[in-house]
Structure 1
Amino acid sequence: GPVFSGKPIDYWAPTNWLQLDNGDTDLGGCAPVVITINGATPSQLVLALGKDGKAYLLNRINLGGIRAPVASAQVATSIRGQAAATYRTTQGTYFVFRATSGAISAYRITATNPPTIVPAWNVSQNGQGSPWVTTTNGVDNAIVWAANSGNGDQRVRGFNGDTGAVVYAGGGPNELMNGTSKFNTGIVAGGRMYFAGTNKVYAFELP
């Protein structure tokens, strides 16, 4: 099975890890995401979102131990429990997440040496679940989906992956969900999206 070497190549922590740990603003808020940026140096990356509201890019071939990251950016006031999704379009490679400020935020990672994190778009969203992404072929027609669950209006919305423009505004009476929990996130399988409510599962046909 997997073996942890204990060597700096196999772990990473920011240089101010003790301060972050004492203030409960460390990296434990959500899982990391593996991202590959063709043309960047390094290109094989891992994204970590911290409870301090920062996004950290790391070289996954050599995490480096306690040191500065490959790149970082302040992307929210805090991130707790909402994992990021990543996707690629003809415009670049993005990651998107639901910030605690009540918004879906997307950032683009540049194919540079070193890669950098730049803002792409931001839209208001009350639901606290993580967004998910669909494309038609892995690159084209990227749509970022998010549910206004919990105390929101119980509707799924879709946003253009490059611009954040609304491409699906929640539908009509037949698309209204009920009893969804605030941290729930949808999944995609077999040409449909599925979202769980308290006592039922909702299925949506993809465009």
Structure 2
Amino acid sequence: MIAASGIFVAYAALAGGGAAATTASATVHAAAAATVPLGQVTAGDWPTYHLNNTRDGNQTKLNPVSTLSVDWSAPLDGAVYGEPLLVGGRVLAATENDTIYALNRSTGAVLWSAHVGSPEPLASLPCGDISPLGITSTMVYDPGTNRVFAVAETTGGVHTLFGLNAGTGAIEVQTEIEPPLGDAITYQQRGALTLLNGRIYIPYGGLFGDCGNYIGQVLSVATDGTGMQSFAVPTTREGGIWETGGGVVDGANLLYASGNGQATSGSYDGSDSVIELSPTLQRLDYFAPTDWATQNGGDADLGSMTPALVGQYIYVDGKTNNGYVLRNGALGGVGGQVAELANTCQTFGTAAVSGNTVYLPCATGPQAVTIGADGTPTLLWKSTVPAEGSPVLGGGAVWAVDYFGGELYALDPATGATKAQIYLGSTAPNFVTPTVVGDQAFVGTVHGVVAVGGA
């Protein structure tokens, strides 16, 4: 663990969020009245990607959807790719400028901010499409230590795990977290962080364009930054683990999806798969399609969708326009699916799940699929709205963002019909997903965070 000397922690209030205090301590004290004690997670919090470690995104503590309105818009110092978290009345968000913020839930005022380094300029990367490249994945909050954890990329392709005190923004953990294999500059840390039994799990994939020497990997460290363990996809190159949901906790183990690997013929190379890992990152089981080699050759793999837990089954799609139902606890290896659903959609992101229904993050707009007791998948509906973002559920609606158009939609879970929609004021990053709690939705945009009322 490295000391946090030299890291600047700033305290400020956004214009319009109340008068700024003249000292840092005064600003923190003034804003604290709108928050509750940290160090715990309550029913009204959203401490990790898609609410919980199963990544179902199903919020039961949301008021019924009504007329939507923008409560506030908080301009930050960069794009917010990760899903905002909500803990103790604080909205926690991180930017591609390597700054982590705590915002007042009611006003959007900045309670604290911590700039942890200089992001990597796109011109310095071998390929990619995020400029600059800083904090891209969704953070995770640990009530045991009262820290929010984030992985930042800084100049030189350095990847560092930071653990910040969620009440003050003080940096309490800082440790370099580089994948053991490949070249650091070729990696992008896109998948959400997962907290499990006092450890942080961190997946790695490549940059847009799949350039350079990288292999999909998962790393983990204790919440004090020590004791690193790792897993690498057993392929010679690629096989990135970049799906937005990161590790899905299934009982005691974790599920990840990997992208296409280098091999396009011969023996199966371990890529293009759903992988079950132990807490110590040993591969316990896997699934891969029978045409994995063809998928590898065409960049048409499973790695773009987080596996969805649906009772005794797991549903996964990807870039193939083909959905696979797997048996939970027995993934089946190559060709081991229970059932398939053809002509679905290309999925990019993480589904929401309620009961036996999976709401898919399709490039053409959300779709809903039901899984029968025998594992048979059936298409329930296809939406006509251009909401490509990862959906969540709450208040009798499916919430999804058209990130190209900057529109938030609330859809009927039974039919896909639009119940409400609102323009966020700007476009949003690819694969964005909203946070929905109480009577609000919080969405990261290319400029900061927007809070929508009426959720």
CA contact (8 A) 2:308 2:358 kept: no
What corresponds to 2:351 in structure 1?
A: 84
Find the residue that maps to 1:73 and give its secondary structure.
Answer: strand
Distance 1:178 1:68 in 2: 43
| Post-superposition CA distance 1:61-83 (Å, at most 9, x none) | 1112223311110243533x332
Distance 1:181 1:3, change over 3 A: closer
Letter aligned with residue 361 of structure 2: R
Distance 2:431 2:282 in 1: 34
- Choose from 424, 437, 445 the match for 1:197: 445
> What is the deviation of 1:4?
5.5
Distance 1:64 1:149 in 2: 36
> What is the deviation of 1:148?
2.2
RMSD (CA atoms)? 2.2
Find the residue that maps to 1:21 and give its secondary structure.
Answer: helix
Distance 1:197 1:77, change over 3 A: closer
| Post-superposition CA distance 1:135-178 (Å, at most 9, x none) | 4xxxxx3x11112222x2x22111110111221133xxxx5422
Find the residue that maps to 2:388 and give its secondary structure.
Answer: coil
Distance 1:95 1:75 in 2: 16
Find the residue that maps to 1:11 and give its secondary structure.
Answer: strand
CA contact (8 A) 2:315 2:325 kept: yes
CA contact (8 A) 1:86 1:94 kept: yes
Letter aligned with residue 308 of structure 2: V
What corresponds to 1:74 in structure 2?
A: 342
Distance 1:203 1:21, change over 3 A: same
What corresponds to 1:25 in structure 2?
A: 300
- Choose from 82, 98, 102 the match for 2:361: 98
Find the residue that maps to 1:128 and give its secondary structure.
Answer: coil
1:149 aligns with 2:411: no
- Choose from 13, 34, 49 the match for 2:317: 49
Distance 1:163 1:18 in 2: 37
> What is the deviation of 1:23?
2.1
Find the residue that maps to 1:18 and give its secondary structure.
Answer: helix
Distance 1:161 1:85, change over 3 A: same
Letter aligned with residue 51 of structure 1: K
What corresponds to 2:93 in structure 1?
A: none
Consecutive aligned runs of 4 or more in structure 1 exceeding 6 Å deviation: none
Distance 1:96 1:16 in 2: 25
Distance 1:179 1:78 in 2: 21
Distance 2:440 2:426 in 1: 19
Distance 1:149 1:32, change over 3 A: same
Distance 2:304 2:424 in 1: 30
CA contact (8 A) 2:366 2:382 kept: yes
The structure number with the bigger radius of gyration is 2
> What is the deviation of 1:195?
0.5
CA contact (8 A) 1:127 1:182 kept: no
Letter aligned with residue 87 of structure 1: S
1:167 aligns with 2:415: no
Find the residue that maps to 2:294 and give its secondary structure.
Answer: helix
Identity of aligned residues (%): 26
1:110 aligns with 2:110: no
Query: Could you tell which deviates more after superposition, 69-78 or 46-55?
Result: 69-78
Find the residue that maps to 1:133 and give its secondary structure.
Answer: strand
Gapped regions of structure 1 (runs ≥ 5): 37-43, 136-140
**TM-score w.r.t. structure 1 length?**
0.75
Distance 1:193 1:110, change over 3 A: same
Find the residue that maps to 2:366 and give its secondary structure.
Answer: strand
Gapped regions of structure 2 (runs ≥ 5): 1-277
Distance 1:18 1:195, change over 3 A: same
Relative contact order (alpha carbons < 8 A, sep ≥ 6): 1 or 2 greater?
A: 2
1:14 aligns with 2:289: yes
CA contact (8 A) 1:195 1:203 kept: yes
Distance 1:23 1:180, change over 3 A: closer
Distance 2:378 2:323 in 1: 11
